[in-house]
Amino acid sequence: MREYGGAGGNGLRTQFLLAAACLLAGLFLYLIPAGPQQNIASGIRLTLLRPFVDIRSALSAARSMSREADMLRAQVDSLRAWVANNAPAIEENRRLRVLIGLAPLVERSYRAVSVHRPGNLGSQSTVVLDLGHEQGVHGLSPIITADGLAGRVLEAHPSLSIGMDWSHPDFRASVMSEDGELYGIVGPEPAAFGGAERLILTGIPYFNVLEDGTLMVTSGRGGVYPRGVPVGRIGGLAEVEEGWHRSYWVYPTVHPASVTHALVGVADTAGPGEEVDLSSLFPRATSPLPDSAREAGPRGAPGADGRG
Amino acid sequence: MAVADRPLPGSPRLGIGSGVVVAVTLILVFFHFVLRLGLGIGAGAPDLLTVALLFHVRRVRFGTAACVGFTLGMLEDAFALVAFGANTVAMTVVGILGVQTRAFFVPTTSLSFHLIYFVTGKWLRDFIHWILQQAAGVTSGFIEPMILTAVPAALYAALVGVLVVKLIGPFSEGES
């Protein structure tokens, strides 16, 4: 068989130029800023690869309807009972706020979404949501599961959104201890060999100590994530700078790979600088310290001796 | 068939039509995205995109191979939020190098050649991607991603690649 792809008098030169052009174009795509990169990626996602995403959405919907109906019914019943039990307290709170002249509670609306993971090489932190800006999803919508914070939306297309989970290198969240005493910033930290992926909490003052197992929740500062959503539990001292600050390992309450359904913030009614509090939605007993954190032990928390 | 294209008497009949090559490549690409994106199997599915590239580039010139690698890499990169372009570069390089193997390895129906070809190609693609990810700031160790993960993935892809070659037909006899 003759190979196809061009042959002729100056075929070799043409082939060389073609190969060089492709290689340079690839390097160009790799080196340009993230904005144009994602514009190109969006174009491919919404055209050539869209049918495959739709297959996934259809399968997910079918699976939800068939296998998870009983579980969803149980959750709806639980929620109905919870709402019924708390309705008097909510009404009482509303009246008290009026009496003492406080503004009404700020509320944020959520929609249930199916969460898909592409599974392609290099897309480890990417999640695809089956709702887009037509349903009110926007570029900073938080993605929340029953266990806590999973990530946030990066791009909202008409009926599809692309988001990142907490393992993305750019993920950051302002968190606080559950009692609201200590505040810091969490970001992802690559897993050590054989260890679990985890977050690192920075910015804790030197003279404040956090016990292992302390639940860290979102503080609501910055306006992206609502207040009170569990992020993870303290799993050891990561780094200490004498007299200045401490850093801790945080083992997330949400495992991104296991997330198939979540809530995504839509039609945000919170104004600039206003905080939304979701603490009451997450009972204190939930989300124990993950097994991976216990198994890791001293190996899982390098620098526990304070040497970082 | 031109006289120059006829196999030598007694030699195994090698090669399949370019239409079949393109069709098989497109089918492999289609199933790659069905399995990984549509069904969400992820790493549980073989990397059919690399298999398609390695299968295809043995039959084309290196400029065309680079274009095929570039296109398939772009498709794979569409869901990469970090190190976008890493797959594109990796698959372009692997496409070009895949063509060069014709200069060093004569066309053969040998099972071991096909196995080594697919294993090396897939591992090299993962290695280039890993280097570019490191350069983009996605730090990870070497042992876990490149030995414990990439080697089994390369073997998995090679098994599928060999199966495809056995089903469809051996690589082309070579240069025109």
pLDDT digits (tens, 9 = 90+) for A249-298: 999 999 988 888 899 988 655 444 455 566 666 765 444 455 555 554 44
**From the candidates A121, A154, A157, A162, which should be mutated to test the interface with B, based on the most B CB atoms within 10 A?**
A121
Report yes or no on whether pTM surpasses 0.80: no
B14 contact partners, CB below 8 Å, separation of at least 6? B7, B107, B109, B169, B170, B171, B172, B173
pLDDT digits (tens, 9 = 90+) for B137-160: 877 788 888 999 999 999 999 999
pLDDT for the residue A85: 85
Task: Please check the confidence at residue A244 and state whether its pLDDT lies above 90.
Answer: no
Residues of A in contact with B138 (CB under 8 A): 169, 190
Indicate the pLDDT class of residue A242, thresholds 50, 70 and 90. confident
Kindly list the distances between the CA atom of residue A48 and the CA atoms of A238, B66, B123, in Å, as whole numbers in the listed order: 44, 20, 27
Residue B102's pLDDT is 80
pLDDT tier for residue A21 given thresholds of 50, 70 and 90:
very high
Position A298 scores a pLDDT of 41
Check CB contact under 8 Å for B42 and A193: no
pLDDT band at A104 (very low <50, low <70, confident <90, very high): confident
How long a stretch of residues is chain A?
A: 308
Q: Do B61 and A7 touch (CB under 8 A)?
A: yes
pLDDT at residue A7 is higher than 60: no
Average pLDDT, whole number, for chain B?
Answer: 85
Cα–Cα nearest to B133, from B119, B149, B120? B149
First to last CA, chain B: 13
The answer to which of A69-73, A135-139, B123-127, B132-136 has the lowest mean pLDDT is A69-73
Q: Average pLDDT, stretch A210-221?
A: 92
A75 versus A34: the higher-pLDDT residue is A34
Give chain B positions within 8 Å (CB) of A157.
none
pLDDT value, residue A252? 94
Q: What is the Cα–Cα distance from A303 to A282, expressed in whole angstroms?
A: 31
Least confident range of A8-17, A20-29, B13-22, B63-72: B13-22
Q: Which of A22, A120, A168 sits opposite B67 (nearest CB)?
A: A22
Contacts of B96 in chain A (CB under 8 A): 19, 23
Give the closest of A15, A119, A162 to B40, CB-based: A119
- CA–CA gap between residue B117 and residue B121 (Å, rounded): 6
Q: Quick one: DSSP state of residue B153?
A: H
- Out of A111-115, A216-220, A280-284, B165-169, pick the least confident: A280-284
Does ipTM top 0.90?
A: no
Is A160 an interface residue toward B (CB < 8 Å)? no
